[in-house]
Amino acid sequence: MKAVRLHAAGDLRLHEEREPVAQAREELVRVTAVGLCGSDRHWFVEGGIGDATLARPLILGHEIAGVVEEGPRRGLRVVVDPADPCERCEFCLAGNTNLCLGMRFAGHGEIDGGLRTLMAWPQRLLHALPDSISDAEAALLEPLGIALHAAALGKLQPGISAGVYGCGPIGLLLVQLLHAMGCSPIVATDLLPHRLDAASQLGATHAVKIDVETADLPDVEVAFEVAGEDAAVADAVRSVRPGGLVVLVGIPSADRTSFRASAARRKGLSLVLCRRMIGSDLTRGIQLVGDGRVDLTPLVSEGFPLADADAAFAALVERRGLKVLIEPNKSVG
């Protein structure tokens, strides 16, 4: 099989490797589409993310769609849940599988991800896809799951005012969810005009090119920071009403988040951090997209074969378009 491994920051290499063999309770998946995420950007640019660093050449990619390659379910189209919790610890038993301390996560640490033509993964984490969801859309179901988890943390209700500060793919999915939930007004901010245009089309009532010192932002009751930048955190804190809630979703480059304490303290704000998603968020996302209540198609901007991974990551680093995909079994040209 072919695989792309990250050897060091900025150093991607295409390899010819032995095909994986599915172990007990696993299935072999032929990978059809992998979305590149902001966390993949951290790995590529910085050689790590947070306190996790490269221990060996790593196959990135955790937003994965594919087809079961062999066995009774051969030919079944699936989306991969990249999080493999132990299901035995106190957090798993309490339903908080995203907090599992024994988590295996595809494309993170020493666990290889989806940027390869074939991968073996636990069968229980391979969810069947309806025909109404394309492979490209399926690669966006994991970020949709994160958006759903963040929305749940925000304790949203119809008519509540909300803001999304940072309109990458997860931020834009949150905008769409807020609109579907009947939130109003919906504020969306970003530095990139094409992201703001997308936010307006997906339901934002105010799409603002942000300037942390001068922008006049409408007050909101719940603020979602999805940029991983202190400027976006400052905007969220400044925009939310006294007694409001700020949900931090973005991952900061320097592994630190800071904001003016006085602004948050005087308002008596509550801060919640979003950690990935739980398994039910993925299955709920499949249902929402399959039923047509969430549209993932507008977020897909570019697709590349595995051999052009360097070009795909260049698009990711430049934040060109919205969601960049790699299609590992697609031919070049």
The answer to whether the CB of 164 falls within 8 A of the CB of 233 is no
What pLDDT score does 211 carry?
A: 62
**Burial code of 260-298, b = ≥16 C-beta within 10 A, e = fewer?**
eeeebeebebebeebebbbbebbebbbebbeeeebebee
Kindly indicate whether the domain formed by 146-273 is annotated with CATH number 3.40.50.720: yes
Cα 204–chain centre separation = 20
What pLDDT score does 259 carry?
A: 86
Q: Boundaries of CATH 3.90.180.10 in the chain?
A: 2-140+296-327
Q: Boundaries of CATH 3.40.50.720 in the chain?
A: 146-273
Reported as type and span, the H/E element at residue 323 is strand 323-327
The parts of the chain modelled with pLDDT lower than 50 are 212-214
- List the one residue out of 275, 327, 249 whose CA is nearest residue 36: 327
**What does the DSSP assignment read for 254-320?**
TS-----HHHHHHHT-EEEE--S--HHHHHHHHHHHHTTSS--GGGEEEEEEGGGHHHHHHHHHTT-
What pLDDT score does 261 carry?
A: 87
What pLDDT score does 50 carry?
A: 81
Tokens of 186: 């919906």
What pLDDT score does 94 carry?
A: 92
pTM of structure = 0.93
What pLDDT score does 214 carry?
A: 47
Query: For residue 185, is the peptide bond before it cis, meaning its omega torsion is within 30 degrees of 0?
Result: yes
Domain covering 2-140+296-327, topology: Quinone Oxidoreductase; Chain A, domain 1 (3.90.180)
